[in-house]
Amino acid sequence: MVIKTVAGLVLLMASIVTLACESKAPSVSPVEITALIGQMRDMAWAEEVTQAQVLIEQQRSHHDQASTGWLVAASWLGRGASFAEQWDIAEQYAREAYDGSVVLLSDRALDAESQLPTALGAGIEVLSRALNAKGDRAGALEFLRGAHESYKGSSLETRIQKNVLLLSLKGQPFPSLDVEHYLGESTSVSSENLEGKVVVAFFWAHWCPDCKQQLPILEQLHTQYGEQKLAIIGPTQLYGYMSRGQDATPEQELEYLQGAYQERFPIPTWMSVPVSHQNFLDFGVSTTPTLIIIDREGIVQLYNPGTLPYEELSAYVERLLAT
């Protein structure tokens, strides 16, 4: 009887201690969705995948997982895991963002709200990258081309095309450029005019600070190799606005580019600048600058969304000029 009483007291005390510990355990406070997206974005760029996964799972019960905000947060974790090449985690959260976005599209247009293209675009991008990383390049391209067809004409078209070209453009003939206008003292960018030359195509935007940083590097390249059959061309497009986001008609924007903009940021005489929106669609230019390097035979050797340092560019160009 005494033994049973002692045992009972021990169990009772253990229960009390457990309850006391549980009552002292900190509860996870909800994080407002905009703040959560910001934290997930910062962790993605820092490749802090484990911390991001802990945070999002702690917050899951506090948020509507069918909302666009939640899907954007999940998509950032998918992107961060892809940067870190943790493909199972990348695929898990990209799939959540993609599937959730597709469900929402059953009752709304893709571009009806700003966050939905962000979540869906990241989902498509990361899922294709995961397929490719796991050795299924053909499956990745099939998935991307299907998505491109599904979302043609939307804000995602160029982003999806960019991912198609990242997997498929190298080794292919450089397609002809469309030309609506030329800026500056441009010469023709026809295939006949570029024949036999190594070509660097620099897709840029007048509002893009990275493009302005890339241009002096291209000038160095021209100075070093311009007389050795190197051509640098600078396709751009009209965006519907001028400096400080001031709305503009095509005529006004062209006048701005050839006037006030040219005075501050002169367009080099050695760079032909064809203007056309179609080129940005065809070449998937959702990132500016985008750099494409083409060999003397007109075959693409590099497709690079983003900037490149002089050392890397000159190494490519020098190698191609030597062949």
For residue 126, give the CATH number of its domain. Answer: 1.25.40.10
Q: Are residues 256 and 164 in the same domain?
A: no
Q: Are residues 185 and 317 in the same domain?
A: yes
276 falls within a domain = yes
* Whether the Cβ atoms of residue 137 and residue 98 lie closer than 8 Å to each other: no
Q: Are residues 60 and 187 in the same domain?
A: no
Which domain-ending residue is among 168, 203, 221?
168
Bridge partners for 247 per DSSP: 241
Q: Which range marks the domain in which residue 242 is found?
A: 181-321
What is the C-alpha to C-alpha distance for residues 78 and 123, in angstroms, rounded to an integer? 8
Statement: the pTM of the whole predicted model exceeds 0.85: no
DSSP 155: T
User: Position of tokens 């002096």?
Assistant: 216
pLDDT, tens digit only, all 323 positions of the chain: 444 444 444 444 444 344 444 444 456 799 999 999 999 999 999 999 999 999 999 999 999 999 999 999 999 999 999 999 999 999 999 999 999 999 999 999 999 888 999 999 999 999 999 999 999 999 999 999 999 999 999 999 999 999 999 999 999 999 889 999 998 777 778 777 888 999 999 999 999 999 999 999 999 999 999 999 999 999 999 999 988 788 999 999 999 998 989 888 988 989 999 999 999 999 999 999 999 999 999 999 999 999 999 999 999 999 999 98
